Chains A and B, each alone.
Chain A
Amino acid sequence: MNKTIEEHSKAASVFLEDAERAKWHDETLWFVRAKRDKAAHTLPEWEGLREAASKIKEHTLSKLDDYLLEFEAKAQANGITVHWADDAEEHNKIITHIIKKHNAKSVVKSKSMLTEECQLNHYLRDRNISVVDTDLGEYIVQLREEQPSHIVLPAIHLKKEDVSDTFYKHLQTEKGNKDEVYLTRAARTVLRNKFITADVAITGVNFAIAETGGIVICTNEGNADLGVHANKVHIACMGFEKIIPKAEHLSVFLRLLARSATGQPITTYSSHFHRPKEGQEMHIVIVNNGRTAQLGREEFRSSLKCIRCAACFNTCPVYRRSGGHSYHNSVAGPIGSILAPNLDMRKNADLPFASTLCGSCTNVCPVKINIHEQLWSWRQILMKEGYGGAAKKASMQAMAAVFSNSTVFKMSGKMGRKFMSWIPGLVNNKFNPWYKQRDMPEPPKESFNEWYRKNRKA
């Protein structure tokens, strides 16, 4: 967390140094992508569903204020307390205030990328409030004091051996026992106790329904339900883009979400919370934290359609070969690379360049976000704003000058090719990143232009 941020390319090259692990990471996530393909192909109406989801989200974003207020009114009528937080700090303060009001010391939390974005765990820990992540993957990374490397599969960068070592260190499991059933049971024993003894349950929100004032949380482990039902206080945290107009729209999103995420037809639990049970308090914290800025950027507005399925992570050949931590942002992968510069351009200027612009992300996206086009657009903004540095700009200006003038182009090309054949060491050296692991093309005697003049224009 407090480590100096390394540029994506540098972190990626470190990730790739362990070739065997990197290959395993790539293949594991490709397996998930392939499962997603299979699940999508079981529905002939798949592309229609994506279109519907995209349109519902676009519509919602165009009338966001109306739907948020409708949601607030309905939720309040249901007995839920609604809070508005303008930024991460305010979000964390509101939650701390609720916890303190109840003299609570111990919190269980199910998966919420928003609380990662707001760095809630650190905030609470600094105030002597113990918070335990109850999603198994998140629990593992929490023990290791790491950030999730993937928004759906938080510990996907770890192998069984790593989990075994982590649990041996923190849960006193048998040294070297990497049996997944054994390890899961060990975590379950600890977590069950936490569920029962905690004072407050925090959850994320997958969908907030304006029409009903209720929220839906999707998990495979049922940990959100366990937390909420075992505790007197439930705090649900959501970015304001989680809103959908009507309950019937869930039939579109729930069919897309799990298929896109893991290839399952639906998550094991799709839990609907509409009101606190008797004797319970229920709070919903609606967070902005830069989202209004993104909403105001026309080119990037549609990034707020994201339902956090991570299909773009799994399909991204760069993500699979660089790992989530190389993106130094709570949301990694292609979607993270278009969300992060909105939060901090300087810190995240490298991320839109961590892509070949292959466009696979855009085409797996269940809500049809044009991710690769937004990556391209961010590049333009970041370079215009000067985040590329003077050297890069100078080299691009030189390139632009060469290509603006055909005489200069022909001359530079000819000279370049001559130099390459006379002194191959000029380009075939360790300072040329192309040459490090690839050979240069053989320079031909003449360019096509020269050939054409000789053979066709004589």
Chain B
Amino acid sequence: MKVGLFIPCYVDQFYPQVAIATLQLLEKFGCTVEFPLNQTCCGQPMANAGFAYLTKGCDNNFIKNFTGYEYIVCPSGSCVLHVKEHLHGDNEPASAAVRNNVYELTEFLTDVLKVETINASFPHRVGMHTSCHGQRMLHLSSMSEKVEKPFSKAEQLLSHVKGLELLKTKRVDECCGFGGTFCVTEEAVSVSMGQDRVDEHLDNNIEYIVGGDMSCLMHLEGILKRKKSSVKVKHIAEILNAQ
């Protein structure tokens, strides 16, 4: 199966190891993965700040890079959501095709590849961070607000990882406060939210926080580092790819 790999701009620049893990993981499951070299950003930072009307150039570049792929896979629920909901280049049929073909990594693994076994090992105490856009808008897991059957695509995958002990926080799915430009425009609230998430994880005496979006994890990592905590953040792709 041929896959176009969509790597969020900040992952490309700051967390290349997450992109490498995603690439290797998809290859392990038999995909032929191509990384279109001229991709930049999905346009979400501008759009969420209220400037969707400035993203045309960005959208066109995205469409140019990903047209022709039946499966476009990305290790970020948030960026995938943006593409699905707001990608509108000059060519509408081409935009629609890209919007329809984009998948978040864990949903691609569980729903398209229907992965049932994973050969991975990560013998650590790990805290689960559920990112909002993946959860509440892409329905990658059930949410505490709704009366629905509990499920989680990420947890389903992590259950295969040898030695991994997954721990949840008291408020299982409260937002970490990253929120794109919110993290700087509402700095005080953003940090307060992040600190509360981190504190609940630390109460569980964990070694790592795992999540599906590096943006949330970057924010939590910034707080952990400032606290001089030894707890590290890991993207789920890194854990599923760990031997």
Contact = CB atoms under 8 A, between A and B. Distances in A.
B132 A400 contact: no
Nearest to A438: B222
B155 to A, nearest CB: 19
Nearest to B174: A317
A452 B37 contact: yes
A434 B136 contact: no
Interface residues of A, number: 76
Nearest to B17: A444
B187 interface: yes
B11 A448 contact: yes
A36 to B, nearest CB: 9
B46 interface: yes
Interface stretch (A98-106, A109-117, A200-208, A402-410): A402-410
B189 A444 contact: no
Contacts of A356: 132, 175, 177-180, 182, 190, 193
Contacts, number: 218
Contacts of B53: 380, 383-384
Interface in B12-28: 12-17, 19-20, 23
A355 B182 contact: yes
A299 interface: no
A133 interface: no
Interface residues of B, number: 73
A419 interface: no
B49 A404 contact: no
Contact of B50 (A12, A382, A417): A382
Contact of B146 (A43, A363, A447): A363
Interface string A1-38: 00000001100110010000010001000100000010
Contacts of A403: 9, 40-41, 43, 46, 55, 57-58, 61
A254 interface: no
Interface in B178-237: 178-180, 182-196, 218-219, 221-223, 225-226
Contacts of B183: 434
A406 B19 contact: no
A383 B48 CA distance: 11
A449 B12 contact: yes
B11 to A, nearest CB: 7
Interface string A389-406: 000110011011111111
Nearest to A12: B189
15 contacts: A9-B187, A12-B189, A13-B188, A26-B196, A317-B193, A357-B182, A379-B48, A399-B45, A400-B51, A402-B40, A409-B9, A413-B12, A434-B183, A437-B226, A438-B194
Given A318-B193, A362-B136, 10 more contacts: A321-B193, A379-B49, A380-B53, A396-B46, A400-B55, A400-B58, A406-B39, A434-B187, A436-B187, A449-B7
